[in-house]
A and B are shown apart, each in its own frame.
Chain A
Amino acid sequence: MVSHRLEMKIRNVRIFAIPAAMLVFVTAVIPLIVLATSVIDRADIFSIWTKPPVQRALVFSLWQALLSTAFTIFLGVIATWYLSRYQFFGRRTFIALVTVPFVLPTVAVGAAFIAVLPKALHHSTLAIVLAHIFFNISIVVRTVGPRWNSIDDQLIDSARTLGASPLQTWRHVIMPLGKNAVFSATALTFFMCFTSYGIITILGGPGLATLDIEIYRRAVQLGDLSGATVLAIAQMLLIAIAFLLWSRSRSTELIAFRVQAVSHRRLSLAPKCFFLALAAFFTVPLLALVAASMRTSHSWSLKGWKVFLGIQNQRGIDFNMWRAIQTSGKYALIASCIALPTGIAATYALSNRRSSQSRLSALVILPLAISPVVVGLAILITYDFQPFDFRSSWLLIPVVHAAIALPFVMRSALPVVDGIPNDLRSAASTLGAGPWRRFFTVELPLLKPAISTGLAFSMAMSLGEFGATSFLTRRESRTIPIIIASLFGKAGEIPRTTGMVASLVLIVLTAMIVVTIDRKSHI
């Protein structure tokens, strides 16, 4: 009887979405409602837009995002085409090289571009656009790659036998077949660039502030919560539109680009040069970061490392690096422990079901459409009174990290869960496996790739998260990205070199985690 009731309950798999929905509710929905209803001074709704810094931020956000998106898509589409259709030396390594940056910590990548660019370009639109390309090409490769990878060679042959020149084939067959994926990649890239925060914190400057930076400046430095909130809500609406466009197509699961057998076509000289240049673009900033971590302006020196490791004291630098590493590691572990089970359970509940589930799924994916800065601000405002004063609880940050990682966990798990045939479950049942047994012996092993990708994603997201954390962090709970940003905010050479060291350590840590946990899907 009991087991029968259990069976009934488990059949109603929708309940598996509850933990995820609660997580999103607590970290996003409630705070956003509170944000929208409590602190806005009505006068600000219109007057805020007349303030020159706000206008500048709005224009700059749009303009740099458009520019970054255009270049990212252009280069990404070319790279994706060759990666998905041609066999060449170093192809696998290259796929890893372009897909890993997406999960790297934004502030650390900003530091890498400081290290590689000449001083005159340190705080420039060019630096920002380059860093955005570095980050977001992987979106194009991950979303469009699988689509093009699956086009039958003979379909292209058939276009050629019908008289289509290579250019016509591209225009009439290849682009239309990848259109939805390219479109989603464009929307997501635009969203990422528009809400860019970590990169701009490091590479921005006077006149180079995005809306997110302006929100932070208003809320934290000017204490203008009402103005910050108006901006946050306006930004949310704008992104919601972009997000709606994005979610139109389901070809957007951020699954890792799996390397499939491709034809034996060889690259000609021009694409070879293109890939050589792109390889340099992806590696040189990181190499420059290694060099910069061991240099002061005139000579080689390990001062930065000494300060970083606490061997040498430096006035104005008061953090304990070991503690920061511990904090970051602890948060990443907790965030994954929350995001992974809730995310996979929710994916289970939402997979293979159409109608009534879509609203629920929108709820869980919601955090993806909201900039972490806005989430940070909303939480800061919401949970500041008894008995809900969670702001001082150290658990708040990993919980928020988990909510931010959740959509990524779900997006990588969805195709895997969807791919488990129902008959397989039935077969296990007819062989005498109960629902739990079936889950642990049949489904869990099949979910392994989703679990490892989700784990890698959530760890990396938490390690690099900067937007929400910058609002919620306390002196004793500073993560590595927070420390990097504060080091680059200080004047002087030693803080900067130490910042380079911290960035390098964070990048290596993240890349190691992603590549070890998720090796199969990247290489």
Chain B
Amino acid sequence: MSLIIDNISFSYGDRPILSGLSLEVPTGTTTAVVAPSGSGKSTLLRIIAGLIAPSTGSIILDGKDLSRVPTHLRSIGMVFQDNQLFPHLNVYDNVMFGLRMAKTEKTIAAKRCRDLLDLVGLSQVAKQSVATLSGGESKRVALARALAPSPRLLLLDEPLTGLDSELHDRLAHDLQRILHATSTTALLVTHSLPEAEIISDSLHRLPTAVNSVQDGEKK
């Protein structure tokens, strides 16, 4: 059981972004796709999340083709490059959002939310507005929020871009620890090879704009 990306192609108008891409992410592991900017990494994640439709190919999660499943029913979480925290909700309510959408029973949801805030080390700022958070804190909230509804797959889009180098390294290790602790199946895209090496169990490279993934190399 795992995520299988089967022969995905996508183009904006005449400009091909992805062509014939195939990839597999085994359950409970973190796989990284490393590629330079503009190579279609984010597009790939958006296709997997169902935010855009591929021109060809299919996404199969736990043996089920997701082509006709809308985003909100896919149970695929995503950490966006610039976090996209809800500005009208505080830290706690941001993390609670997915649990509320799933109508999780209140006490269970509250406990899950507290546990996750503990895990990312932000219990003390739970009631704060997200506008007051630092870059690293925002990233942790985004991660906790995405993990809260226990998604079957977590997508991470350049999760450490824009952080200063010390914070970057610390957060990379934290991320690895948290993903392991929650045994989350995750797909990470990044332009940074060292980052991918810290966080992921296996990695792939997408060398150019139009590409097919070359052989996956084991760390």
When distances are taken between beta carbons in the complex, the residues of chain A under 8 Å from B149 are: 162-163
Instruction: Enumerate A157-204 residues with CB–CB distance to B below 8 Å.
Output: 157-166, 168-169, 172-173, 176-177, 179
Q: What residues of chain B lie closer than 8 Å to A176, measured between beta carbons?
A: 88-89
Pick the residue among A155, A160, A163, A166 that contacts B86 (CB under 8 A). A155
Q: Which B106-159 residues have a C-beta within 8 angstroms of A?
A: 145-146, 148-149, 155
Chain B residues within 8 Å of A158, by CB: 78, 80, 84
Residues of B within 8 Å of A169, CB to CB, are 72
A179–B72 Cα distance when bound, in Å, is 24
* Contact, CB under 8 Å: B51 / A160: yes
Judge if A47 is at the interface, Cβ distance under 8 Å: no
Contact of B49 with A161 in the complex, beta carbons under 8 Å: yes
Q: How far is the CA of A508 from the CA of B17 in the complex (A)?
A: 50
Complex CA gap A162/B51 in Å reads 12
Q: A268 in the interface, Cβ–Cβ < 8 Å? A: no
Once A157-B49, A157-B51, A172-B97 are accepted as A-B contacts, the answer to whether A162 and B88 lie under 8 Å apart by CB is: no
- Once the chains are docked, how many angstroms separate the CA of A172 from the CA of B88? 10
Query: Does A152 have its Cβ within 8 Å of any Cβ on chain B?
Result: yes
Return chain B residues, CB-CB under 8 Å to A152.
84
- A386 interfacial contact with B, CB 8 Å: no
Cβ–Cβ contact A154 & B88, under 8 A:
no
Contact present for B71 and A161 (CB under 8 Å): yes
Contact A164 B101 (CB under 8 A): yes
In the complex, B54 has a CB within 8 A of chain A:
no
Closest CB in chain A relative to B41 CB, distance in Å: 15
Contact A163 B72 (CB under 8 A): yes
With A163-B75, A165-B72 known as contacts, the answer to whether A157 contacts B98 (CB < 8 A) is no
Residue of B nearest to A161 (CB): B78
By a CB distance below 8 angstroms, the chain B residues around A168 are 72, 101
Q: A157-B49, A172-B97 are in contact. Are A162 and B87 (CB under 8 A)?
A: no
Highest count of chain B CB atoms <10 Å: which of A154, A164, A173: A154
Instruction: Give the residue name and chain of the A residue nearest to B148 (CB).
Output: A162
A21 vs B177: C-alpha distance when bound (angstroms): 63
Min Cβ gap A160→B in Å is: 4
Contact B97 A159 (CB under 8 A): yes
Cβ contact within 8 Å between A161 and B88: no
Complex contacts, B148 vs chain A, CB 8 Å? 162
How many A-B pairs have beta carbons closer than 8 Å: the answer is 72
Q: Cβ of A160 and Cβ of B80 under 8 Å apart?
A: no
User: Cβ of A172 and Cβ of B100 under 8 Å apart?
Assistant: yes
- B residues lining the A interface (CB < 8 Å): 46, 49-51, 70-78, 80, 82, 84, 86-89, 97-98, 100-102, 145-146, 148-149, 155
Q: Please name all residues of chain B whose beta carbon is closer than 8 Å to the beta carbon of A165 when the two chains form the complex.
A: 70, 72, 101
Instruction: Please state if B80 and A162 are interface contacts (CB–CB under 8 Å).
Output: no
Least CB distance, A168 to chain B, in whole angstroms: 5
> Bound state CA distance, A448 and B148, in angstroms?
50
Point out the residue from A155, A164, A172, A179 that lies within 8 Å of B84, measured CB to CB.
A155
Does the CB pair B101–A157 fall under 8 Å? no
Which partner residue on chain A sits nearest B142 by CB separation? Answer: A158
Q: Which residue of B lies closest to A165 (CB)?
A: B72
Which of B71, B74, B87, B98 is packed against the most chain A CB atoms within 10 Å?
B71
- Chain A residue numbers with a CB within 8 Å of B102 are 163
Sample (13) of A-B pairs whose CB atoms are under 8 Å apart: A152-B84, A154-B84, A155-B86, A157-B84, A158-B84, A161-B49, A161-B155, A162-B77, A163-B72, A163-B75, A169-B72, A172-B97, A173-B88
- B residues in contact with A159, CB < 8 Å: 86, 97, 101
Beta-carbon contact of B98 and A162 below 8 Å: yes
Distance between A329 CB and nearest chain B CB, rounded to angstroms:
47
Within the complex, the shortest CB–CB distance from A443 to chain B, in Å, comes to: 30
Residues of A within 8 A of B74 (CB): 161
10 new A-B contacts at CB < 8 Å, known A155-B84, A162-B98, A176-B88 = A159-B97, A160-B50, A161-B74, A162-B77, A162-B101, A163-B75, A168-B72, A172-B100, A173-B86, A173-B88
Taking the closest CB of chain B, its distance from the CB of A83, in whole angstroms, is 22
Q: What separation, in Å, do the CA atoms of A173 and B93 have in the docked complex? A: 12
Measured in the bound complex, the distance between the Cα atoms of B156 and A250 in whole Å is 37
**Chain B residues within an 8 Å CB radius of A163:** 72-73, 75, 98, 101-102, 149
Q: How far is the CA of A177 from the CA of B98 in the complex (A)?
A: 18
Distance (Å) between the CB of A426 and the closest chain B CB?
27
- CB of A157 within 8 A of CB of B80, answer yes
**Which residue, of A162, A165, A168, has the highest number of chain B Cβ atoms within 10 A?**
A162
- List residues of chain B with CB within 8 A of the CB of A160: 49-51, 70-72
Q: Mark A133-172, 1 if CB is under 8 A from B, else 0.
A: 0000000000000000000101101111111111011001
Which A residues touch B78, using CB under 8 A?
157-158, 161
Q: Which residues of A contact B70 (CB under 8 A)?
A: 160, 165
Q: Which residues of B contact A172 (CB under 8 A)?
A: 97, 100-101
Q: Which residues of the partner chain A approach B72 to less than 8 Å between Cβ atoms? A: 160-166, 168-169
A155 and B51 alpha carbons, distance in the complex (Å):
12
Bound: A185/B28 CA distance, A: 50
Nearest CB of B to A520, in Å: 29
